[in-house]
Amino acid sequence: MIESLRIRNLRGIRECSINGLTDVNVLVGRNGVSKSTVFEAIYLVSSWAESHNHLGRDKVDYVVARRASRRNWDALWFAKNVEEDIEITLGFKPLGMLRFKIPYSSPSSPVLLELTREVIASELFEEYSLTEPLYYDLHQDRLWDPKTRTTYIRPEVRDYFLSRFKIVVEFLRGVMFIDSRLSITNVELTIWPKLLDRRLDKKIVELIREEYEPDVEGIMFKPTREGGFVLALTLANTTVEVDALGDGARTAITLASTLALASNTAILIEDPEVHQHPGGLATLMRFALKLAKDRGLQLFISTHSVELVNIVRRICEELGLGFRVFFMERDYSSGVVDVRVLESLDVDVLQKIGLDPRMLYVI
């Protein structure tokens, strides 16, 4: 589990630290405070362990393309200051801190892991005359020494790191980003064949039946006139293509299908309240949080909905999941992002006196 996060020089963030992360973390704040950038930071780091996501897309390309073309690579840097590396530091319980860097001109992979004596045993540095820090490129399986600007392989160093941080590597490999760019078409082609193999389609049907379509009997791949196949709900007297459903049902199927395959990793969910009635939102969040409990998932959720905060808090209490709300505020001139924890009592009190927790910046 990620316990802490520090970001430097990424997008609109010059500096940002978040501590006390738990099972379910909800980010709130006005538009433009860099909630999405926090998600992008975690996703970029996950590309160090696995370069492509569950849809087969390059993760770094995906992050860049969310707001710019691939050619606008320098837009990732704060104020486009490409002379200074992007730094993202994750604290993992109980293994400690790992710092990742994105140099503008990397010798290999876009994301490199910094190895210091706090991470690698000092005797390894001494035995092999290693300088500090070194950078480890997992994809190329090699070390890069920025002082000598040389690359080489030291199996002893690699094996030591991978044995100590195996759980972290696997955790990062599985990270998923669920945002508005994820469509039902993506899910049909890449996720549903795997869901059907494991008969996880039954869970999706239960979700749909509970809130969106009480008469649904199942989900199938239906042939199209063009010769392909699309997902469709089977009802008592007909079938309905998922594409033809309302926005709420379609969004719920997309999100739930993606979550159903995840385990022992982090899931980044951007604004899940979009297109959802409060009743549908409660059903969808209960589905997600039960999976988080059963599959060892750490959830990061951004929202502009007080209803979502209350729904998630209540379900987390029922399931025994850790829950925290983080209020974010950014100084637009300096790029420093301040993050503070809203305790449950704070949210209750603010609502009782008629204040929206998302509007703390006006207080």
- What is the tens place of the pLDDT at every residue in 27-67? 998 888 999 999 999 999 999 999 998 888 889 989 988 88
Q: What would the pLDDT profile of 108-155 be if each residue is shown by its tens digit?
A: 568 999 998 888 888 888 888 888 888 998 888 888 888 777 787 888
Question: pLDDT category, 350, cuts 50, 70, 90?
Answer: low
The DSSP symbol for 86 reads: E
Whole-angstrom distance, CA of residue 107 vs CA of residue 136: 11
Please name which of 357, 353, 354 lies closest in space to residue 312, comparing C-alpha atoms: 357
Mean pLDDT (the chain) is 89
Whole-angstrom distance, CA of residue 46 vs CA of residue 32: 23
Tokens of 351: 């609502």
β-pairing verdict for 298-302 and 134-137: unpaired
pLDDT at 140: 84
Amino acid occupying residue 329: E
* Cα–Cα distance list, 190 to 57, 113, 184, 195, 196 (Å): 11, 30, 10, 10, 11
Tokens 């791949």, residue located: 221
Tokens 């707001």, residue located: 67
Between the CA atoms of 210, 212, 216 and 219, what dihedral angle is there, to the nearest 10 degrees?
-110
- Asked if 43 and 302 touch (Cβ cutoff 8 Å), the reply is no
* Cα–Cα distance list, 135 to 7, 44, 157 (Å): 18, 16, 11
Tokens of 353: 């006196």
Q: Is the pLDDT of residue 363 over 90?
A: no
Q: What is the DSSP string of 289-322?
A: HHHHHHHTPEEEEE-S-HHHHHHHHHHHHHHT--
Tokens of 14: 């010059």
Whole-angstrom distance, CA of residue 159 vs CA of residue 121: 12
Whether omega before 272 lies within 30 degrees of 0, making that bond cis, reads no
Whole-angstrom distance, CA of residue 352 vs CA of residue 358: 14
Whether omega before 94 lies within 30 degrees of 0, making that bond cis, reads yes
pLDDT at 344: 67
Amino acid occupying residue 121: A
Whole-angstrom distance, CA of residue 244 vs CA of residue 290: 28
* Cα–Cα distance list, 101 to 45, 178, 259 (Å): 9, 24, 28
Percent of the chain surpassing pLDDT 70? 93
